[in-house]
Amino acid sequence: MAIPRSQKIDLVLEHLHNTGQPRLLLFPMNSNGGRGSDVVPNHWTLLTFDFEAGQWIHYNSNLPRDGTSNRYMDDAMQLKEYVESKQKELFMKSPDTNTVVYKEEEFNHPLISYEKCPQQHIGTVDCGIHVCHVMERLAKNEEIEETMTMKEVRQYKANMVSQFIKDFVVE
């Protein structure tokens, strides 16, 4: 039985409440760009919360090239608002005294689009690869390059497959 996405997020946030604050929260998102629940999600983006900077950052490897709005930001905003509402529930009241321990504004951080995110090449479906690449760079606290060549994308895919096979092989 699959666990609903909101329940998974709740479990992560409860764990954070009990264990302490990380540097980043990473939320890979498979979304449909706000096109309604009847449209199957088909694009991976990444929403992060940076505790040090106090901001949400959305990484989209398929930013609009024609001046239209980034329709995946709406999905990121919905997730941001959900997570912030759960944080309020978990952190606003002290369990011992039931008194407020955080202020409302501590849970209302800006959401920005990371415009220098490497963009997938037109006609490719490498959004998931780009999300994995950005997550890896963030986890290692490394700079995110503005571009990935097709050769680099293929190499990243090959490295991922190699790692899966290496981890799977039982000696």
Using the structure block, give the residue that is written with the tokens 């309020």: 88
pLDDT in tens, 91-127: 665 555 555 445 555 668 899 999 899 999 988 999 9
Spatial CA neighbour of 62 closest among 125, 4, 7: 125
Rounded distance, CA 87 to CA 75, Å? 18
Give the chain's domains with CATH numbers: 5-168 (3.40.395.10)
Type of residue at 33: G
Length of the chain: 171
Going 87 to 59 to 51 to 13, the CA torsion angle's sign is positive
pLDDT in tens, 62-95: 988 777 788 899 999 999 999 888 877 776 655 5
Under 8 Å between Cβ of 156 and 129? yes
pTM comes to 0.81
